[in-house]
Structure 1
Amino acid sequence: MKKTSLDRRSFLTRASVGGAAAAAGTVLAAPAIAQEAPQISWRLASSFPKSLDTIYGGAEELSTRLNEATDGRFNIQVFSAGEIVPGLDAINATTDGTVECSHSVGYYNWGKDPAFACGADLPFTFSARAKAAYNYHGGGVENYNTFLEKYDLVSYPGGNTGVQMGGWYRNEINSLQDLQGLKLRISGLAGRVVERLGVVPQQIAGGDIYPSLERGTIDAAEWVGPYDDEKLGFHKVAPYYYYPGFWEGGPTVSFFVNKGQWDSLPENYKSLFRTAAQAVDQNMLAKYDHLNPTALKSLVGQGAQLRSFSEEILTAAFTAAQEVYAELSNENEDFKTQYEAMLAFRDDWFLYQQTAEYTFDTFMMIQQRNGGLTKA
């Protein structure tokens, strides 16, 4: 027994010394996946302030997902609006290489090229669910990226707010006459549409809206919906809250990547980016759907006056939108190509929605109004 014990200790000692010597002279091979995963560090310029945890938070979520999926090898540092460039310049900063990527809304660049707006939203086109179907299965992502090649960009959906609210107004809007000369903060191509109704559109970044409204520089402002609007405090300076935001039925917030930077990524990183972006796209909508109902009740409780746009205003706006689209299609081939693809998808979508979805939702709303959904 004694000899066996000594032999065992002798063997363990020799094994330890041998193992240490081998480790000193040989580097263990790293797993193949680690060898193929380069260290990437990008900067992302957001168009949104940090205070808006929903829409700004989408970029942070993308960063976290990519970091976790690559064991810290693909890092994206997120900067809020104004930290590197103004919020409305985030896409341009991506094109010129100031940053590798950005999180923004395409219609912020519509003045540079109206076709930018097609990747975000056009008045009277899609709901959020329809936009997702079009983007991922109807060719929307591919159509947008074909256009973006001329601006050295690649883009993937990175969020949606759902149908937005129509904004905050100092005075009631009962007729088209009330819109004459109204200075309204409104983004993108929608400004060209409401301009035909007599509105004076103002494109102002999110963080600058409240002081402009408070000082009376503008008469009204639209942003997103109840959750974000309450955070920004619009109800304190403009009591009338209108719906729906017909100019944004399903606005896509997008990740824009400099094409040269995108092309340099290994294929597995590109796949991870697309997957993470799609997760952000769906999660942002779910978060807004969760938070907006409670926020709306809170706003009404604080004195917000909820109003719907009249059919007169909606009809006039719809007609104006069709006129603008016809003009832009004649002026800009890229816009025309994307818009016509959207129309074909939109027509089938709303034809179908009149059946199961619309009927179910309408029935449930009737039950709610009749008290049938009240908790026991």
Structure 2
Amino acid sequence: MYKLNRLAGGVALAAALAGASLSANAEEMNWKMATPWGGGPWLERDAQTFADYVDQLTAGDIAIEVFPGGTLGGALRVTNTVKAGVAEVSHNYVNYDYGTDPTAALLAGHSSGLTPEEFMMWMYEGGGVELYEEFRRDVFDVVAFPCSILGTEIFLHSNKKVETLEDFQGLRLRTSGAWAEIASQLGASTVVMAGSEIYNALDRGVIDAAEWGSPEMNKPTGFQDVAQYVILPGVHQSGGFLECQVNQDAWDALSAEQQELLRLAGKLSVFDSWLASSYADLEAYQELVDGPNEIVQLDQSFIDAIYEETRKWEDENAESNEWFARVLESQREFKASMTNWQQYRLPIGAMGRD
């Protein structure tokens, strides 16, 4: 398991300050954490990081044991597992509840959405985290807050070269959520399947292409071994979040100080995941560049068409869903405030700065 060794000084200080207001004889709570993850960084690094932070910040008063997907309930029904009290806490992807409320896509990340860095600023400075917690309580009866960041995904691992909107027509594409709807409107033939089925489907030609995650997350899947083309950029999922959910009764049993420490553990975990995943993506992507795959960049006209179709999808959902409209308005206002960012900030990774 991933052992926490970053931000130790800040954690120790926060724990010391919190300890002044927590009972020295507080009853220890042993919580189970449900996840959808069978393994990999989201389970072994990100979920465990949150559990470790909670342990440190509460001075051991809340101990969390992390369980892989399917152990405590359906891997894609983690919200129900937490709501029912089978697990007190989870590490989850809000977009798995897209079918209940499409607002989940705005909070998880969607096409023409926010980059990881923009997402973090909107969450913690632009009012996003308050909307997130209120939405989850109101619609799903669980307490939830961000606890991992998602990097920009690879647009496609594909056996067909895709550069233009014309190339996208009829493409047998594995995807899910909001992008399945939008990609269908753009002409793809979308297929929803579990991640474990993608490799064989690509290899056997059942599908032409698939989207899954960032370079780091895709590396161990082997998609690059059965699909010639790596299509960029990932405008369908420019960034996003994973969440930690807490059962309402378990949350209510905590003191106000403990509740704030759990939120802090989530925020620290987001920062850690951003550092770790961003750095890991660099190496994973370089391996693709150096390997036998062909790297393909989408034509700007296709990107523009994606943005246009996404805006239609957003406007249609906002008309009929009050929560969707609230979150969308907040994100659009934030994006408008970011338009002058590039005027004074150097682009990340730019060369020739001497």
Query: Out of 222, 226, 250, which is 1:237 matched to?
Result: 226
Displacement of 1:54 in angstroms is 4.7
Residue 339 of structure 1 is matched in structure 2 by: 328
Query: Out of 240, 249, 253, which is 1:260 matched to?
Result: 249
The 1:94–1:199 alpha-carbon spacing in structure 2 relative to 1, beyond 3 Å, is farther
Q: What is the CA–CA distance in structure 2 between the aligned matches of 1:184 and 1:88, rounded to whole Å?
A: 21
The 1:137–1:55 alpha-carbon spacing in structure 2 relative to 1, beyond 3 Å, is farther
- Paired residues for 1:56-71 under 5 Å: 56-71=44-59
Structure 1 spans left out of the alignment, 5+ residues: 1-30
Q: What is the CA–CA distance in structure 2 between the aligned matches of 1:255 and 1:145, rounded to whole Å?
A: 10
Query: Out of 192, 211, 228, which is 2:181 matched to?
Result: 192
- Paired residues for 1:142-181 under 5 Å: 142-150=130-138, 151-181=140-170
Aligned partner letter, 1:176: L
Q: What is the CA–CA distance in structure 2 between the aligned matches of 1:161 and 1:293, rounded to whole Å?
A: 14
- Aligned pair 1:128/2:116, yes or no? yes
Query: Out of 293, 309, 312, which is 1:323 matched to?
Result: 312
Aligned partner letter, 1:322: R
- Aligned pair 1:291/2:280, yes or no? yes
Superposed CA deviations along residues 142-188 of structure 1, whole A, max 9, x for unmatched, are 11222222311111111112322212001101322322222222232
The 1:32–1:170 alpha-carbon spacing in structure 2 relative to 1, beyond 3 Å, is closer
The 1:309–1:92 alpha-carbon spacing in structure 2 relative to 1, beyond 3 Å, is farther
Q: Secondary structure at the match of 1:265?
A: coil
Q: Secondary structure at the match of 1:88?
A: coil
Contact 1:44 1:77 in 2 (8 A): yes
Displacement of 1:55 in angstroms is 5.9
Displacement of 1:318 in angstroms is 0.8
Q: Secondary structure at the match of 1:72?
A: coil
Superposed CA deviations along residues 262-314 of structure 1, whole A, max 9, x for unmatched, are 12212222122111111110111111221112211212333121111111211
Displacement of 1:33 in angstroms is 4.7
- Aligned pair 1:246/2:231, yes or no? no
- Aligned pair 1:361/2:347, yes or no? yes
Residue 15 of structure 1 is matched in structure 2 by: none
The 1:218–1:352 alpha-carbon spacing in structure 2 relative to 1, beyond 3 Å, is same
The 1:260–1:274 alpha-carbon spacing in structure 2 relative to 1, beyond 3 Å, is same
The 1:203–1:334 alpha-carbon spacing in structure 2 relative to 1, beyond 3 Å, is same
Q: What is the CA–CA distance in structure 2 between the aligned matches of 1:203 and 1:256, rounded to whole Å?
A: 25
Q: What is the CA–CA distance in structure 1 between the aligned matches of 2:196 and 2:202, rounded to whole Å?
A: 12
TM-score norm. by structure 1 comes to 0.82
The 1:212–1:55 alpha-carbon spacing in structure 2 relative to 1, beyond 3 Å, is farther
Q: Secondary structure at the match of 1:84?
A: coil
Q: What is the CA–CA distance in structure 2 between the aligned matches of 1:131 and 1:120, rounded to whole Å?
A: 10
Residue 76 of structure 1 is matched in structure 2 by: 64
Root-mean-square deviation (CA, aligned residues, Å) is: 2.2
- Paired residues for 1:197-216 under 5 Å: 197-216=186-205
Q: What is the CA–CA distance in structure 2 between the aligned matches of 1:128 and 1:263, rounded to whole Å?
A: 31
Percentage of matched positions with identical amino acids: 26
Structure 2 spans left out of the alignment, 5+ residues: 1-19
Q: Which is greater in Rg?
A: 1
Displacement of 1:355 in angstroms is 1.0
Aligned residues: 334
Query: Out of 2, 22, 26, which is 1:37 matched to?
Result: 26
The 1:352–1:239 alpha-carbon spacing in structure 2 relative to 1, beyond 3 Å, is same
Query: Out of 31, 36, 40, which is 1:47 matched to?
Result: 36
The 1:239–1:124 alpha-carbon spacing in structure 2 relative to 1, beyond 3 Å, is same
Contact 2:22 2:257 in 1 (8 A): no
- Aligned pair 1:227/2:212, yes or no? no
Residue 90 of structure 1 is matched in structure 2 by: 78
Query: Out of 244, 253, 260, which is 1:271 matched to?
Result: 260
Residue 9 of structure 2 is matched in structure 1 by: none
Displacement of 1:56 in angstroms is 4.9
Contact 2:219 2:284 in 1 (8 A): yes
Q: What is the CA–CA distance in structure 1 between the aligned matches of 2:44 and 2:37, rounded to whole Å?
A: 5
The 1:223–1:171 alpha-carbon spacing in structure 2 relative to 1, beyond 3 Å, is same
Displacement of 1:316 in angstroms is 1.1
Q: Secondary structure at the match of 1:242?
A: strand
Superposed CA deviations along residues 341-368 of structure 1, whole A, max 9, x for unmatched, are 111111111x1222122xx228x6353x
The 1:32–1:341 alpha-carbon spacing in structure 2 relative to 1, beyond 3 Å, is closer
Q: Secondary structure at the match of 1:189?
A: helix
Superposed CA deviations along residues 298-342 of structure 1, whole A, max 9, x for unmatched, are 123331211111112111111110111111011211111111111
Pick which of 114-123 and 200-209 moved more. 200-209
Q: What is the CA–CA distance in structure 1 between the aligned matches of 2:233 and 2:191, rounded to whole Å?
A: 19
